[in-house]
Amino acid sequence: MNQYVTGAMIKRLREGRKMTQSQLARKIMVSDKTISKWETGRGYPDISLVEPLAAALGVSVIELFSGEDVVNTNKSFNMLRMKIHVCPICGNMIQSTGEAVVSCCGIVLPALEAEDEDDDHQMYMERVEDEYYVALRHDMNKNHYISFIMAMKDDGCEIKKLYPQGNAEARFKIAGTRHILYYCTHHGLFKVPMKRITTKS
């Protein structure tokens, strides 16, 4: 992980569960002095204690490492609240439909902020029967390419995974499509609302 467990997080979670240091210490079989050292920053839990500590505090290991609680206030599903995370190491793309702590290759991944397309990332689109054909004139080499193109819909999404030496193009069903998103491995995530796209039939 790129972060380690903080004493402030341990103390906040412990107090939130109305536990004393001694009670927490008994749960994970350490001394209350050890808990005190962790909470005051004079020591850190051994890696072997992280899993039982998280269980005793009622959180996941990822939450404990991130220093943040995962509270999903998105009680009703809404595609507009979907978040996208991309691992800079392996290129893995992960979606979440609310607040989440997402980890890949040992690092916590922030949710990406989609930008408006720019001159180097202009998208062309054409309507072909019941589909949209979308394409970008963009480098597609192993060091710089469009990794995926996604059609965001009312009730889900369609994703086209792309690879170096291929073409930056995809086809999506028209019905329900609200936005097109695409990810450049050098410049990040771009978003194009359907109302901004001029189509050719």
Most confident among 5-9, 54-58, 105-109 (mean pLDDT): 54-58
pLDDT digits (tens, 9 = 90+) for 172-192: 999 888 889 999 998 999 998
Q: What is the pLDDT, as a whole number, of residue 73?
A: 46
User: pLDDT at position 40, please?
Assistant: 87
Instruction: State mean pLDDT over 15-37.
Output: 92
Is the pLDDT assigned to residue 70 strictly greater than 80? no
For residue 41, which phi and psi values (nearest 5 degrees)? 75, 15
The answer to whether 180 and 152 are in contact (CB under 8 A) is: yes
Question: Quick one: pLDDT band at residue 41, thresholds 50, 70, 90?
Answer: confident
Q: What's the whole-number mean pLDDT along residues 159-164?
A: 93
The angle subtended at Cα 177 by Cα 174 and Cα 178, nearest 5°, is 145
Q: Retrieve residue 27's tokens.
A: 């749960």
Asked if 82 contacts 97 with a C-beta cutoff of 8 angstroms, the reply is yes
Residue 80: per-residue pLDDT:
59
Tokens of 80: 């507009």
